Amino acid sequence: MHYRTIFILPAFLALIACSQETQDSVSTTDASYQETLLTQLIDAEPGDVIEIPEGAFSFDRSLSLNVDGVTIRGAGMDKSILSFKGQIAGAEGLLVTASDFTIEDLAIEDTKGDALKISEGENIIIRRVRTEWTGGPKTENGAYGIYPVQTKNVLMEENVAIAAADAGLYIGQSENVVVRNNRAEYNVAGIEIENTFDADVYGNVATNNTGGILVFNMPNLKQPGARTRVYNNEVYENNTKNFGHEGTPVASIPAGSGVVVNSNDQVEIFDNDIRDNKTANVIIASAFSAEIDQAGVADDFDPYPEQIYIYDNRFDGGGNNPDGLDLQALKVAMVGPLGRLPDVLWDGYVNPARANDGPVLCVQNGHAKVINVDGPNGNANPRIVDDSSHDCAFEKLPPVALTGPLAE
């Protein structure tokens, strides 16, 4: 726990320095606090701890921080609340473009766009932060709750993300990431790992989202992603109607999706409790199933999910009432009106250049079955795989080791 020693000392100093000023001048639901916090963010220097006092504070424009080595700390995710209900300018609640950044124990509510965006930084800790749109799931909500992008060495833990119109907890185009013990609910995507290398996603609860946990690769970005382990999570009843904005990638996620992999490689899904996701407990798909126009895809993009390894999960229920007419028809045709689709739904796309390189999807998960919906042939010949073609194993990925000040 090396990082604690780094951050406790400045926190202690800041407490001494700030306590007299802030405690007197700040009352609850105070709009004047905006000026105080803006000034602290502008004047911040490396090593500073900015304490957010207990209370609900309203903001009419976005906040931003671009100094390395700063900690923002509240009194608790239900005690220090930054409300952007009256926001009239700025695309985020808080935008951070800095490294060695820690934010913890506060809430960001009702932003017009993303709640907390952290762009291009290293050694990032996001802990016990709640991002929420308080009116519940609505299309007009902001896209992302907690949104680090192009970051390295990132810990997201014990956060709560509610009602984002895209993803509650999202990490994109990043490296070396641990996402653990968070709770995501009533988002379109609960937790999304996108174009990211080496992510461990464990101990999380994803429920009442449209899709629980997503591991995606999208085209036209600086880096693809690979090597994500999704384990020891509870992913259940992610059956909220998709309220994403039309045109966004997540808008194509069927309601009732547990864990979804799209175009990503080397993904391990194991030791999770995945249950009662009405479309399918696990979906493995290519970019061809994500409504992406091939004319708009850069040439170097690999649309095929490969080396996907599913094992030792506890599946229960699910697949009984898939979202959308096509999937409903498929289900009735395959398992009858009262049956349920197998736990693993695969769109069946295989890179023709690697057709002889062995399986892309291995499932060693008791009685769990795979349905191949035969996407390449327009779903002409969907089949529940009853042979041993997915009974295989890939070499297991090593755990992600956070480094530097985040090393454990």
Partner 1 sequence: MIPTRKFAAQFSTSPFQGEVWAVILCFLVTACSADVKPVFHADENPESLSDWGMVFEGDGHLFVNEGVLPYDLATPLFSDYALKLRTLWTPDGKTVSYDPDGPFDFPVGTVVTKTFYYPRENDEWDGVVTIGEAPRLSQMSLPLSKFQLVETRLLVRREAKWDALAYVWNEEQTDAVLKRTGDIKPMTLVRDDDEREAFAYLVPNVNQCAACHATNATTKEIQPIGLKASHLNKRSNYSHGLNQLDHWIAAGLLTGDFSNAGAAPKNADWQDETASLDARARAYLDINCSHCHNPVGPADTSGLNLKPDASGPALGRCKSPIAAGGGTGGRPYGLTPGAPEQSITLFRMETTDPGAMMPELGRAVAHDEGVALIAEWITEMEGACG
Binding stretches for partner 1 (CB under 8 A): 35, 38-39, 41-42, 60-62, 64-66, 87-91, 95, 97, 111-114, 119-120, 139-140, 142-144, 147, 149-150, 165-166, 170, 172-173, 218-222, 245-249, 291-293, 295-298
| Spatial CB neighbours of 80, under 8 Å, sequence gap ≥ 6 | 52, 53, 54, 55, 74, 105, 106, 107
Residue with Cβ nearer partner 1 (163 or 368): 163
CB of 91 to partner 1, least distance (A): 4
DSSP assignment of 248-268 = SGGGGSPSSEEEEEES-EEEE
Three-state SS at 236: strand
- The whole-angstrom separation of Cα 111 and Cα 92 is 6
Residue with Cβ nearer partner 1 (63 or 402): 63
Q: How many helices (H) and strands (E) does the chain have?
A: 3, 29
CB of 108 to partner 1, least distance (A): 13
Residue with Cβ nearer partner 1 (29 or 294): 294
Residue with Cβ nearer partner 1 (188 or 267): 188
CB of 404 to partner 1, least distance (A): 18
Residue with Cβ nearer partner 1 (83 or 307): 83
Alpha-carbon distances of 154 from 99, 100, 228, 309, 406, rounded to whole Å: 10, 10, 14, 24, 8
Alpha-carbon distances of 198 from 28, 193, 213, 214, 254, rounded to whole Å: 42, 10, 16, 14, 26
Residue with Cβ nearer partner 1 (95 or 160): 95
CB of 214 to partner 1, least distance (A): 13
CB of 400 to partner 1, least distance (A): 22
CA dihedral 42, 43, 46, 49 (to 10 degrees): -90
DSSP assignment of 279-292 = SEEEEEE-GGGTT-
Residue with Cβ nearer partner 1 (218 or 402): 218
Residue with Cβ nearer partner 1 (89 or 338): 89
CB of 42 to partner 1, least distance (A): 5
CB of 365 to partner 1, least distance (A): 32
- How far apart, in Å, do the first and last CA atoms of the chain sit? 5
Extended strands (E) in 46-188: 49-51, 55-58, 61-65, 71-73, 80-83, 89-96, 101-109, 114-132, 144-157, 160-162, 167-172, 175-180, 183-185
- The whole-angstrom separation of Cα 318 and Cα 55 is 42
CB of 391 to partner 1, least distance (A): 35
